[in-house]
Each structure stands twice: as C-alpha cells, then as structure tokens.
Structure 1
Amino acid sequence: MTTTSRSRLLGTGINRVDGPLKVAGRAPYPSDFAYPGMAHAVLVRSTVGSGRITEIDTTDAEHGPGVVLVLTHLNAGQVKRGPMTPLGVSPPAPLQDDVILHYGQIVAVVVAEIFEGATEVADLVHVGYSTAPALLELDDPRAARRTNPWGRDAEWGDAAGALTDAEVVLDEIYLTVDNTNNPMGPLTTVARWEGDTLLVNNSTQWASLEATSLATAFGIPEESVHVMAPYVGGGFGAGLRVWQHVVLTALAARVTRRPVKLVLTRPQMFTACGHRPKGRQRVRIGATRDGRLTAIHHEALTATADDDNFEPTATVSATSCACPNVSTRDIQARLNRPA
C-alpha cells in the first residue's frame, strides 16, 4: 500500500483573533454600547422625492412622552459639510435648509428617553411640502449631466481609428442596477461629549476619515474626536462615508448634553447610508486575432445624487490593461436619489 502526503498550499490553519468572541456573541458592536443617561434618537424622513418643506410642525412631538429634543432645519444651527476625501466629496451636511433632494431624506430627528418612545413620537412630526417632478431615470432629458466629474477621463493614441482597423472588435452595452449594501447589523452611532471632546462608537470602516469629517462638521480640532469601532457588524462599503445620521447623533448629544444612540431601521438602510449607483456602460475593444489589445473605448453614464460626486467607473479601464489607443469617459446623471 502506497501513502502519499498532501501538500498544504496555504500553510497551517489558524484561528481568527476575533473568532471566539464573535461566535460566542461577546464581540461589542456599536449597538451594544450604552452610557449612563443615554437618550435615543429616531429619524423622520421625507415622503416626497423632490421639492421644498413648506411647513414643519413639531408641537405634538415636543409634548410627547419622554421627548428630550426635536431637531429640524429650523433649529439645528450651522453644521459644515465634511472635507473632500479620496472617495470624493463628503455627503451634504444635514438639516441645513428646506430643500428636498430625494425620497427618504432626513427632515427631523426626535430624541427621547427610550427608543420606543422616540419611534412613536416621530410620527407626530407633521411636515408639509411643495413638490416638484422627481428626476429618477438615467435618460431623463431634464437631468443635469456632468462630464469628466473627477478629472480622470483618459485619452491617448487614436482609439476610434484603431477600432476601425482592428481585426476583432467587441462592442457591448452593460447595464448595472442600484445595489444597496445591507450588512446584518444596521448602522449605529452612539455619541457623547466630554467638554469639547466628541467620543463616538460607530459602524464605520474608516475611523480616521470619520474623525476628520466630524471635526470639520463641528469646527473642532481633529484630535478632539475619538472614533471607536473595534467591530463594525458588516459594511460592504456602506461604512466608508460619514453619513448624515452620524453627524446628527453627535449634534443631538451636544445639544442635550447627554449620550445619544441612533440605530438605523432596515428600511432606513436603503436611503440613509448610500448605495452603489446604477449605470450604463458601452465598452468597445479592438484586438488582433492572437489577442493583443489595440484599442479600448469605454463610456459610462452613472446615476448620482443631485448633491454628490462619487463612484468613477470608466476610468478604471485606462489603467487595467496595456493598450496603445485608449479613450475613457465618465458622465454623471444628477438625479433625485440618495447619495
């Protein structure tokens, strides 16, 4: 009998450092943190896709059981937009005006002693709107289009001529749909202030960027912001930007002078923390019959929020393959959709 040994291609197996804590349910996610005197915040979202707020009545909500604070654009004060980042411009600062840019936009925040109370009282915030036709589709002729939005369009050689002369040509259109990142743990923020120092437990995949963004929002030194995220609870990209609910939780904590927790509901995950945008791409590739690329021509039309600038697409083709003739173009259709 002959015995052969199997070689181990990946080496000796090891346990994940965080494995035992996670499988035992002892890993502390942001939603697990609580502090003495903590209040709970719940969002109120727009029920229209485009327009303006004409009236907002918080009287009933302010007299609801256990209500601590109701924030709207009328009393939120100035909050600055975050800085330009490697991923593009930061999302707009929340509750700064009466303009509605998309369905589900945050129009108020209710803070109460308990989560259930805040949830119930949120329905007592009455909002009136003047509406405008929402721009929702890539081909809507009313939608503004922005060419070369990141300044990364590429052009060298003669892509059009090389395609004409190529022995083999691929010419295809690819459609991609909206893709919403929904990790198992809904994104959560717990914020508290100690004097002028902001401490945040948050579902973030980029703690240093969050510290920079929050420091900009509140006009404080970056070293005065401490972001803690030992375990995220899943992100898939949703935790790479600093969303409006994060800023609002910190704002509510500053105004109330007590810790505040905000946990997005599952429906809110579709409008409050971004998504990968739908788009249409035309890709034309020229090659010799033995497979050498002679031309790449890539045009991408991508949906983006009216007040956002994110997700380059075609630019990747300029650097992915060696090719003497390249043309890549990105175009954004600015729509009434979340960031």
Structure 2
Amino acid sequence: MNTVERKLFHKLKKKKMFGSAKAIAKAVMTLNSSISEEQFDQYHTLLGTPETAKRLKSPSIRQQRKLKTFDQLQIRTPEKKLKIAVCLSGQPRSLIHCLDSLQRFFYGHEVTYFCHSWRGQTDPALLQPLGNFFFSESDSPNTSEFERQAIQQYGLKHFDSGMKIPFVSPNVFPMWNGVQQAFNTISEHGFQADQFDLVCRMRYDNFWIGQFDLEDFAFKNNTLVIDRNYNGYGGYGDQFAIGTPAAMSHYFNIYNWLTSDFLKGGYSDNCFPEVMLKDYLDHCGIKVHEEDFGLRLLRDDYVGLAPQDIPLRNHAVSKERNARLSAYVKESFPDEWNNN
C-alpha cells in the first residue's frame, strides 16, 4: 500500500465514506494479480471474508490463513499447541456475549485464564463458562494524587463548549493498575509466568472475528504482538497484547512507570493512551509486531450484530466519556480546573 492510497483510505474512513473505500478495495483487487499484506488487512476489514475471498486472485500463505480464521463457519486447528496464560481485567459485563469468540480465538491451545476485578464488583459465577480460570479481587486504588500530578505536568484541554479534560485521562491509572493485578493473579494462585509459552493481556469485552494463528511466529523476549485495529495517533492499542513471559512482564508493569517517570515529564506531550503505551515500550526496549486478528470491543449497542458489522469505534461513546471526565475534574480538582 503506497503512501497516497494509505492517506486516502484514512480520510475516507475518518469521514465514514465506507462505500467509496469499499469500491476502491474491490477495484484494486480486480485490477491486480496480488496485493500486499497491508492492503489485504485493510480490504478484509472493510469487505469481510466472503467478498475478499471472491475477489482475491493469488492470496499469499498468510492471506489464505486469515481468510480461513476469519470465516465464522470454520475453525482452524493450530499446527502447534501452546500453553497460554490469559490475564483478564476490567468489568466482565460483556463476557457472556464474547465467550464463544474468545474460545474460538484460542481454539486448540491449552489456555488458563487469570481474572481480576475490583472487590465486590464481579460475581465469579459470570466467569464459570471460561472453564479453567482463577479469580482474584482487590480494593480499587485511590489514584487521585497521580491524576493531580498528571494535570499539573500535562495540563487540561479546553473545548469551545466550556469543557475541560485532562490530556492524560484519569482512567489510565486504575486501568493499568487492574492490568498489573491480573498478571499478579498468576503468582497468587501458585503459578509462575514462565510455566507458560505465552502470556496474554486481554479485556473482558474483547470480541474476536479471527483466531490466534501465530503459533509459528518467532516470539522473542524483547518482542510482543498486538492487534493493530485499535492503534492510533502513532501508538499502539492497549486492549490486547501477547508475548513471552519475559516480554509481557514489562508490559504488565506500565503502571509503575506511569506513576513515577512519566509524571516527571520528558515524554511525548501527545498523551493519548496509544502514544503513552508506545513511549513506555520504547523505554523498555520492547519491539512490537502488529497483527490483525479481527479485534472488536463489544459495546452494549453492538450485541447481536454480525461479527463483520461490529464498528471499530463509537464516537458517541467518546463524547459521553469526555463530558463525564470534564465533570469529574471540575468536582475533584477545582483548583486545577480554575488555574488551567
């Protein structure tokens, strides 16, 4: 995919001109004997498996594999069975609707789930369908001092409507604390991370169109894999990552960096969560391989949609989140609100 095509696709999708983007994808596949992996991922996401398979002339081995793993009527058996620890954190509200896709995603592998939630917020019975799982809960941390320091260091973004929201979202502190606690669940239940071939970070509302098909990928101790679908602003999506125990031990410790070095400044002023994650992984010397597994976040409004119809983003949710953050900052940090 050349630079012009990449920019054109970005603009069309940003303006929600999906019809035009699909027309271009169909034309390119019709006129060319083969397409690049980047083109394939873009077109496959837009068109879905049946339409892509119909138009693709000479698929590569990877493209053939993706067409099979994204086909909801097929289940691919991995060539190599791996022992995988999946660390789940957040709220398991959507788990019941994501369960089938999660089990299909790791089909054929030996999976143990390590689940974390804040105390009193989760009924472990909701997790029973996972089968081989271990659960821990902890008190929700008070991160207000870190939130204040982040406002002082990076400031507030002003909107014409009068809203002000922190450039560093207060949500990142409890979220990454929960991610770290999910990883700690492994040792709390008598396991060691290095007992597993791979360790995975995942949210309860992750919905998978495809399957995990990288059992032949050369995972190294300084490399991890993310799903590229929620990348943005030059950084990495924080909804999913998988790698060796050594690589993922760095990933799960981002909370320590956020509450120390990051608050001293010296990192990118572009404080989107994606950029913050990239800054941290660069700081740790961790390389990232971006893959497309068909990740979607299953919001309540999307339950019941066909997998290929689940939107990647919901701008209404973003607006509501900004309004809540603005009200939270005004109430919790009135001095910072008035001085910024």
Report the TM-score, using the length of structure 1 for normalisation. Answer: 0.28
Q: Which structure has the highest strand share of the two?
A: 1
Higher relative contact order (CA closer than 8 Å, sequence separation 6+): 1
Q: More helix per residue: 1 or 2? A: 2
